[in-house]
């Protein structure tokens, strides 16, 4: 049986290597429910192979230096306390949102220097600073390239675990959705420019680490599903003020998917909560997006989900994870149709 490869890309985060554990658990739970009562049901831990893209370290050192230039944490613990609370919220626990909000809104803290609202400054640095740093400058794209390199590395790990041509599902939150869109769009443009094996060999000689010389999965040829959550991608249209409509979304599923998995389908679904001020639907961006993306407005469950603080909780919510798992179960059945029937299911 061929597994599905699931890549999870975080948004604006701190160093939390376990950010993917909650969505992975929910995905496996709801995937298993799609086969409940069936003989020879697939083991969800083997049927869907999950790999996180942890790109936060690319900027963590620079952000730490920036704060050390403006704050001296003499007594110690202020920013460590922030990090601990954010990790708790990343795990889907709303109970920790109240103390986090209190710390973020604190005007002064005796542990720090004279600048007011250090927690709010920390938050803005992550939300605004990450987005600013990610944008490539004129002739320079160091952060952009390094973040994309972390995606490439994660795809390589995923290929080792799931196989060279496993169908690929990408789940991306917040700024991670912009990273996913850019990365796979760049890959599709690169593939379109490569017409034969000779060009692939040339690229391999020029750069042995070039993902375009690797497996179909790593080249993005097996991209079947893209799920964006709390996405600010619409704001990136401001980079193109002369265009009334954006007309070049990433193709989902990838054009080559049918070559590797005949009969397999795919989709791009954009989940947004209308209380999330960072998230936007994508179909209003233009006709191409109306054809490519299905916007789904969800009302996330919880005490604070009627406020803009809803933003971190998409992939900790069953209303998002259950339909994703249901779609992946359908794709798994399509890809493994002959083998699944042979088991008598």
| 109 pLDDT tier (thresholds 50, 70, 90) | confident
The predicted pLDDT at position 203 comes to 54
| 37 pLDDT tier (thresholds 50, 70, 90) | confident
**How far is the CA of 143 from the CAs of 68, 79, 151, 179, in angstroms?**
21, 24, 13, 12
The predicted pLDDT at position 191 comes to 81
Cα 196–200–206 angle (5° rounding)? 145
- pLDDT at position 173 over 70: yes
Range of 92-96, 199-203, 288-292 with top mean pLDDT:
288-292
- Select the more confidently predicted residue: 263 or 52: 52
- pLDDT at position 341 over 60: no
SS3 of 23, please?
A: helix
Please state, rounded to an integer, the average pLDDT across all residues of the chain. Answer: 86
Neighbours of 87 (CB within 10 A): 18
pLDDT, tens only, 123-140? 888 778 888 889 886 666
- pLDDT at position 23 over 90: yes
- pLDDT at position 76 over 70: no
Nearest to 199 by CA among 212, 211, 186, 209: 212
- DSSP states of 221-290: TTEEEEEEES--GGGGGGG-TT-SS---PPPSS-TTHHHHSTT---EEEEEE-TT-TT---SGGG-HHHH
Provide the residue ranges of all domains of the chain, joining segments of one domain with +.
4-61+150-336
The predicted pLDDT at position 106 comes to 84
Rounded to two decimals, the pTM is 0.88
Range with lowest mean pLDDT among 8-12, 124-128, 254-258, 341-345: 341-345
The predicted pLDDT at position 258 comes to 93
| 46 pLDDT tier (thresholds 50, 70, 90) | very high
Specify the CATH superfamily of domain 4-61+150-336.
Alpha/Beta hydrolase fold, catalytic domain (3.40.50.1820)
Neighbours of 210 (CB within 10 A): 16
Cα 143–146–149 angle (5° rounding)? 150
The predicted pLDDT at position 107 comes to 85
As a whole number, mean pLDDT of residues 195-221 equals: 66
- pLDDT at position 27 over 60: yes
- pLDDT at position 25 over 60: yes
Range with lowest mean pLDDT among 86-100, 253-267, 275-289, 293-307: 86-100
């Amino acid at each position: 049986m061929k597994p599905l490869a699931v890549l999870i890309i975080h948004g604006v985060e701190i160093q939390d290597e376990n950010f993917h554990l909650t969505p992975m658990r929910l995905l496996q739970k709801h995937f298993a429910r799609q086969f409940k009562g069936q003989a020879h049901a697939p083991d969800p831990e083997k049927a869907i192979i999950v790999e996180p893209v942890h790109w936060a370290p690319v900027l963590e050192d620079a952000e730490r230096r920036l704060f050390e230039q403006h704050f001296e944490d003499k007594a110690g613990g202020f920013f460590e306390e922030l990090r601990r609370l954010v990790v708790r919220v990343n795990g889907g626990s709303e109970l920790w949102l109240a103390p986090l909000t209190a710390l973020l809104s604190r005007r002064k803290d005796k542990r720090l220097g004279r600048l007011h609202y250090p927690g709010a400054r920390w938050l803005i640095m992550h939300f605004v600073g990450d987005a600013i740093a990610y944008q490539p400058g004129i002739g320079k794209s160091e952060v952009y390239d390094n973040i994309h390199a972390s995606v490439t590395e994660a795809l390589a790990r995923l290929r080792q675990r799931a196989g060279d041509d496993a169908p690929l599902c990408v789940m991306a939150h917040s700024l991670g959705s912009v990273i996913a869109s850019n990365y796979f769009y760049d890959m599709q443009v690169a593939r379109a420019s490569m017409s034969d094996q000779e060009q692939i060999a040339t690229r391999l000689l020029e750069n042995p680490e070039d993902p375009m010389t690797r497996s179909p999965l790593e080249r993005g040829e097996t991209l079947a599903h893209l799920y964006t959550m709390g996405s600010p991608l619409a704001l990136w249209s401001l980079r193109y003020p002369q265009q009334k409509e954006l007309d070049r979304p990433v193709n989902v599923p990838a054009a080559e998917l049918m070559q590797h998995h005949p009969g397999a389908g795919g989709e791009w679904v954009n989940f947004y909560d209308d209380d999330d001020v960072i998230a936007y639907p994508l179909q209003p961006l233009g006709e191409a997006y109306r054809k490519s993306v299905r916007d789904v407005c969800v009302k996330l469950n919880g005490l604070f989900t009627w406020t803009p603080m809803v933003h971190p909780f998409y992939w900790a919510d069953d209303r998002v994870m259950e339909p994703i798992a249901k779609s992946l179960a359908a794709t798994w059945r399509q890809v493994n149709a002959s083998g699944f029937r042979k088991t008598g299911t």
